[in-house]
Amino acid sequence: MTAIDDRVMGIFENLEVPEGFKAELIRGEIVMMAGPDMVHNVIVEAIQDQIPRARWHRLTTQDIDLPGLTSEPQPDLVVFERDAASRGRLLPAPLLTLVVEVVSKTSVLRDYRTKRELYAEGTIPVYLIVDPIKAVCVLLTEPNRASASGLPDYVSARTTKFGEPIPVDLLGISLDTSEFQTYS
């Protein structure tokens, strides 16, 4: 890390975020956003409820550590095996099996492009983008640190409409999306 990266990390770690907001460190930039609305939260809850608690931790508002990158994103949902050991504020990316981002009107580019690249570079096996604007889900698997474009990406992408099931093989489940709603 450079001296600037160290300073940004120090500022980020000590940042006092106003109530009703959340902050993420994305490629060395501090990104602050308003808290999510009800549609967003109901989608996250619906996904969380379908992932078996006996085998998986299903956490919201968990910062993750992408080693070697100046980023500490906070996905809307992270899923990892219950026997994985971790402590502290940052959950190491290698422990994760699935991350979920629910797109908001202000996070479209970040969720579809920036975080897609970050999560692929962090080799997170499954990235699910839920888009209440377009009423679709994009399931990304098989992270590749250096795709044909030269940027990190996922080899496999499957898009489904709200209401259609999403098989998530690594979790051994098929997500029911019939409760997912769009923003008004």
Superfamily of domain 36-175: tt1808, chain A (3.90.1570.10)
Report domain extents, the chain: 36-175
Q: What is the pTM for the complete model shown?
A: 0.87
SS3 content of the chain, % helix, strand, coil (to 5): 25, 35, 40
Do residues 127 and 163 touch, judged by C-beta distance below 8 A? no
Along the 184 residues of the chain, how does pLDDT read in single tens digits?
Answer: 555 466 666 666 776 776 777 776 777 777 777 778 899 999 999 999 999 999 999 999 899 999 888 888 999 999 999 988 778 889 999 999 999 999 999 899 999 999 999 999 999 999 999 999 999 999 999 999 877 778 899 999 999 999 999 999 999 999 999 999 999 8
